[in-house]
Structure 1
Amino acid sequence: MAELDELDQKILAALSADSSTSTSRLSRRFKVARSTVQARIERLERSGVIAGYTVKLGQEMTLRRIRATVLLQVEPRTTPGVLQRLKAMPEVEVAHTTTGRFDLILQVAAETTQDLDSVLDRIGTITGVKSSESLIHLSTKFDRSM
């Protein structure tokens, strides 16, 4: 991983807050040449510090989606195959391995309860999935990741 100095950290913080911020705007904000900002961003991308850019859906879109946390127990040595199948399902937004009674924690989103039910059924039929428990999200009280 690249050694990050103060300017790198400022650029990363600014791009994390708004990845569409132009290099010109960043250069004015941090009082350095635009070419310096561009070179720093390119180095951060090449070194893997910046893995990509994304769109964060607005509240209008996210409020209309039904979200659930799904806890999975999987058969021993089947996790790679289970993850491969889960990765092919666009409704599965995040998958974490974990310790304890469950092996995987998923974040799933669907447009309707019927769609969510269908996704949960498909997850349950994946070879290697031993059991699942679903927790439907009702409301978000706070989210530090946003």
Structure 2
Amino acid sequence: MKVVSELDRQLIQLLSGNARASVAELARELSVTRATVQNHIQQLQQQGIIQGYTLRLSNAYRGTMIEAHVSIATEQRKVSQLCRKLQTMEDVRSLYSISGEFDLVAIIKSSSTESLDQAVDHISELDGVIRTQTSVVLSTKFER
């Protein structure tokens, strides 16, 4: 991977805050030309540093969803197969490999406590899962 310049870092930070910012807005913020911003965005995309843009939902809408972090202790030889199974579950939004007492943490978002409970039960029943620990998110203080 190419070394990322300070301008690239600043551009990434601005896009992280507002992926819909116009090239003109970004150029003003960075004190460079629009062509410079367009070139840097294109290079960052070609290098795979920027892989896409995302949607950030309001706290009010997110409040209608129940989010939980499910820590998962696994049989090490079954981690790959387990990850593939978790990827097929609609309520599992992301999965992280972690250090410590647990091996994985799955981020689950469900529309009700019942569907959350079903998702957690399904995870705990998967082949290769030794045990789980679930923490329900009460509120989001900030998100970048």
TM-score using structure 1 length:
0.89
State the alpha-carbon separation in 1 of the partners of residues 9 and 100 from structure 2.
35
- Cα RMSD for the two superposed structures: 1.6
Contact in 2 for aligned 1:93/1:107 (Cα 8 Å)? yes
Q: Which amino acid counterpart does residue 88 of structure 2 have in structure 1?
A: A
Q: Which aligned runs of 4 or more in structure 1 are off by greater than 6 angstroms? A: none
Q: 1:37 to 1:139 in 2, by over 3 A?
A: closer
Instruction: Provide the secondary structure at the position in 1 that maps to 2:77.
Output: coil
- Residue identity in the other structure for 1:98: I
Residue 57 of structure 1 deviates from its aligned partner by 1.1
Q: Residues 137 and 27 of structure 1: is their aligned pair in 2 closer, same or farther, counting only changes over 3 Å?
A: closer
Moved more, 113-122 or 91-100: 91-100
Q: Which runs of 5+ in 1 are unaligned?
A: none
Measured after TM superposition, the shift of residue 91 of structure 1 is 1.2
Change in 2 beyond 3 A, CA 1:100/1:33: closer
Equivalent position of 2:44 in the other structure: 44
Task: Give the partner amino acid of 1:138.
Answer: L
TM-score by length of 2: 0.90
Alignment partner, residue 111 of structure 2: 111
> For 1:61-100, what per-residue CA distance to the aligned partner results, in whole angstroms no more than 9, with x for missing partners?
1111111111111112100111111111121122121223
- 1:85 is aligned to 85
Partner in structure 2 of residue 128 of structure 1: 128
TM-superposed CA distance for 1:14, in Å, is 0.9
1: CA distance between counterparts of 2:68 and 2:36? 43
Aligned pairs, how many?
A: 144
- Aligned ranges 1:1-146 → 2 under 5 Å: 1-140=1-140, 142-143=141-142, 145-146=143-144
Distance change (3 Å), C-alpha of 1:78 and 1:22: same
Ranges in structure 2 where 5+ consecutive residues have no aligned partner: none
After superposing the two structures, state which structure 1 stretch, 98-107 or 7-16, moved more: 98-107
